[in-house]
Amino acid sequence: MGLLNTLEHLLIPSKRMEKVTVGLKEIVCRPKDKNRLKSFRSSAMGCEYTNPDGSDRQEAIMKLKVGQKVRLLWDAGETGQKKTIYLARSKAQNFSMSDCFGRLNDKTAADVIRWLTQDNITTAAKVVQIVGGTRKRPKVGCVLELSTYRMPEKKG
């Protein structure tokens, strides 16, 4: 089966894994319970699509575990005005596009970015439920718990 996949990637242009450069900024959160403001839940969006590099988001989401931390990666675009936050499996320092399994919905992403850029509030995310993967609902998705924290004031 591996040989067949390799041949497909070589011979069929749409199957090729292209190297795509994406400018992402990670939203870093070092949570301390005393600084927690609120928590809420949100579903991951776009889990059924492929990533710009051709990797499958369904494969990435199937590797998630309940309770696992999720990386929030802000794609601000060239102008800095884009409001997309991608979700990626949390692992070592390096990020690979194949770790991306979806994104936040537009309203939640806009709120998270506004909190970060204007209100000095950062957000952390973790997986609370994996949904789907059944005969009736074959596509897999997940529910996240997002927690907001006030960032400590810089001493200057």
Convert the pLDDT of each residue in 15-28 to its tens digit.
444 444 456 777 77
Range(s) of the domain holding residue 135: 23-150
* Strand stretches in 6-153, DSSP E: 25-26, 36-43, 69-75, 84-89, 100-103, 121-132, 140-150
Classify residue 10: in a domain, yes or no: no
Convert the pLDDT of each residue in 42-93 to its tens digit.
999 999 998 888 889 999 999 999 999 999 988 766 655 678 899 998 775 6
Question: pTM to 2 decimals?
Answer: 0.75
- Could you tell me the CATH number of the domain that includes residue 72? 3.30.70.2330
- Report the 10 Å Cβ neighbour count for 98: 18
Domain count, the chain: 1
Classify residue 145: in a domain, yes or no: yes
